[in-house]
Amino acid sequence: MYNDGLTVKIQESSHVAEKEAKKKVKRPTALKRDITSQKKYLQNKAFKSRIRTAVRTYKEALVQENAEVKANALNEVYSLVDKATKKGLYKKNKSSRIKSRLASKLAA
């Protein structure tokens, strides 16, 4: 993001949106909801991707003999899943199910 004095340019995932700094455009509520919905969708998608990556890392750590690496990987997954539940990305039962399955793999 940079500001050349007249316009503020914001680079998003696939396109560049230009917005004038001096005039604020009044948007209809439906359009605003579409924009905020798209932003939240991208944020949620990225967060779920982080969880999947952490689970993959944990499964790779299970092969190793080092118990500390396993515990750290499991703690990372637990933390991310709990944050997702707090944000409303996962329901409580789903997060409990994920954590239970991963813990049982550690015990086995």
Q: Give the pLDDT confidence of 76-90 residue by residue, as tens digits.
A: 999 999 999 999 999
Residue listed under structure tokens 């637990």? 78
- Over residues 33-64, the pLDDT tens digits come to 999 999 999 999 999 999 999 999 999 999 98
106 in a structural domain: yes
37 in a structural domain: no
What percent of the chain is predicted at pLDDT more than 90? Answer: 67
CA distance 56 to 51: 9
Whether residue 94 has pLDDT greater than 90 = yes
The count of structural domains within the chain is 1
Which domain CATH number covers 106? 1.20.58
pLDDT tier at 23, thresholds 50, 70, 90: confident
Q: Which amino acid is at 106?
A: L
Residue listed under structure tokens 């899943």? 81
pLDDT value of position 45 = 97
11 in a structural domain: no
Q: What is the mean pLDDT of the chain?
A: 85
pLDDT value of position 15 = 47
pLDDT value of position 34 = 94
**Which range of residues forms the domain containing residue 57?**
42-108
Whether residue 8 has pLDDT greater than 80 = no
Cβ-proximal residues to 48 (8 Å cutoff; 6+ apart), any chain: 84, 89
